[in-house]
Amino acid sequence: MENTQSFFDDIRAYHDEEIPAVVEKIASDPLLIPAAQFVFPNLDIEQVRTLISSCRTTDDIQRKIMYPAIGGIIHRTMRRFTTSGCEFLSDKNSWLYISNHRDITLDAMLMQYALFENNLPTTDISLGDNLLRTPLVFELCKANYMIKVIRKDDVSMREFLENSKHLSEYIRYRINEAHRSVWIAQRNGRTKDGVDMTEPGIIKMFGLSGGCDFVESFDQLHIAPVAISYQYEPCDVFKAVELCRRATGQPYHKAENEDFLSILTGIKAYKGDANMTFCEPIRRDELEQIAQLPRAEQSKALAEVIDRRITAGYKLFDTNYIAYDIKHGTRRFAKYYSKVAEQQFDIYLVRSNAQFEVMGVNKDAAREILLGIYANPVEAKLNQGINLD
């Protein structure tokens, strides 16, 4: 593509030659102080600033800052972080990782950590521009292979379609010509209710840059679904409050810096165990089968294949089984959790109820939504015929 560098200036990450000036902005940002105190507790702020200023390339930032920072987050907020499915991946391919989306930034951060730990290349990360309104977040993300995604609600439909084609072209360029893998969420925004479903519109967006041959278009992208799951999900109470207010017709308006506070909450909150599964990539023969369908049905069909991979790869924890049994008034999955785990989850629900009262929502309705966040992944596996007994 002619003059590729400048053509994508509006959505691309920083180039290495831009990093030295950017790290000075990051190091001087006042919001760095609360973030640094958590991710680098053994360093004072001047030591953190010196470390940041020493970075000269994006790879420096990932190696010196991001990798140890994410490792620290795992150490302080998780009991363990596990991965599986790396055997499906090869560093000879660049992949389009399509992931379920539970936390604003942690999902993608954990994936970078998992890839780094398994000696696999890290990825570009697609992020909505609504998350980039805080200067510190903007600069830090853009210095870490970020791809800016312009959200639909900010522009006209014509502009949205133009932006979607532009994004599609850039993702395809990064995978096929720059030989960089790309991470993108399966939907616009986080899953709020625990139901992980790929939006067909995301699939249609990928196809905008691929020509008329469905099989060739999507085979070139090397789609690899990814499933992330948390024993205790970050921001679950806030998700339940938002959905409860929307369900009862109450207006819901984001507070100033709410996205930044959600990012910090997701990073700081205790998560128990977490798991990332790299699922089997989409095969050419599957694309050939989908290509036999009417064109109007192809995006939905491919989304459903991705969803089956993610649902199968999603690791269930004791909290999922406990929530399902509470929600349905059964003991069907009691063998998958201990009495102690059940008591701990009961305490968690009591504490959540107290938060619901403080936030001014119906605590019974919000509790049901919260239970659904954990129970719905069990429902999804059952609905797909995955035997859990």
Strands of the sheet with 146-149, listed across from one edge: 78-84, 272-278, 223-230, 96-99, 181-185, 123-128, 146-149
The total domain count for the chain is 2
Same domain? For 329 and 307 the reply is: no
Q: Average per-residue pLDDT in the chain?
A: 93
Mean pLDDT on 235-260: 82
Could you give the CA distance from residue 185 to residue 71 in angstroms, rounded to a whole number? 22
Quick one: which of 172, 158, 166, 140 has its CA closest to 61? 140
Task: Provide the residue type at 311 as one letter.
Answer: T
> What does DSSP say about strands 223-230 and 146-149: parallel, antiparallel, or unpaired?
unpaired
- pLDDT, residue 389, reads 63
Confidence (pTM): 0.94
Is there a domain that residue 245 lies in? no
Q: Is residue 215 part of a domain?
A: yes
Q: Are 279 and 225 in contact (CB under 8 A)?
A: yes
Q: State residue 309 phi and psi, 5-degree precision.
A: -65, -50
For residues 286 and 358, membership in a common domain is answered with no
- Residues sharing a CB contact under 8 Å with residue 176, sequence separation 6 or more, in sequence order: 94, 220
How much is the average pLDDT of 74-83? 96
- Look at residues 283, 315, 347 and tell me which one is the last residue of a structural domain: 315
* Residue 223 counted as domain residue: yes
Task: Give per-residue pLDDT as tens, 100-154.
Answer: 999 989 999 999 999 999 999 999 999 988 888 888 889 999 999 999 998 766 6
**What gap in Å lies between CA 39 and CA 44, rounded to an integer?**
11
Query: In this predicted model, what pLDDT tens digit does every residue of 22-64 receive, in sequence order?
Result: 999 999 999 899 889 988 999 999 999 999 999 999 999 999 9
What pLDDT score does 263 carry? 84
312-341 tens-digit pLDDT: 999 999 999 999 999 999 999 999 999 999
Q: Are residues 309 and 323 in the same domain?
A: no
Strands (E), 137-286: 146-149, 181-185, 223-230, 272-278
Name the percent of the chain lying above pLDDT 70.
Answer: 96
My answer on whether 215 and 336 are in the same domain is: no
CATH number, position 289: 3.40.1130.10
Written as one string, the DSSP assignment of 93-140 is: S--EEEE---STTHHHHHHHHHHHHTT---EEEEEEGGGG-SHHHHHH
Domain of residue 362 covers 319-383
Residues 121 and 190 in one domain: yes
Pairing between β-strand 272-278 and β-strand 223-230 as defined by DSSP bridges: antiparallel
Q: Where are the beta strands (DSSP E) in the chain?
A: 78-84, 96-99, 123-128, 146-149, 181-185, 223-230, 272-278
Q: What is the mean pLDDT of residues 280-304?
A: 98
Is the domain of 299 the same as that of 355?
Answer: no
Residue 50 maps to a domain = no
Residue 97 bridge partners (DSSP): 183, 224
Residue 292 and residue 350 in one domain: no
* CB half-sphere exposure, 361, CA atoms < 13 A: 29
Contact residues for 272 (Cβ-Cβ < 8 A; gap 6+) = 78, 79, 230, 231, 232, 317, 319
Residues 275 and 367 in one domain: no
Is residue 149, in this structure, part of any structural domain at all?
Answer: yes
Domain boundary among 277, 298, 315: 315
Position with higher pLDDT, 190 vs 171: 171
Tokens read off for 26: 């990051």
**379 and 288 together in one domain:** no
Instruction: Label residue 1 by pLDDT band (50, 70, 90).
Output: very low
Residue 388 inside a domain? The answer is no
What is the model's pLDDT at position 290? 98
Answer yes or no: is pLDDT of 279 > 90: yes
Same domain for 178 and 300, yes or no, is yes
Answer whether residue 107 is part of any domain: yes
Q: Indicate whether 328 and 311 sit together in one domain.
A: no
Same domain (yes/no): 212, 346: no
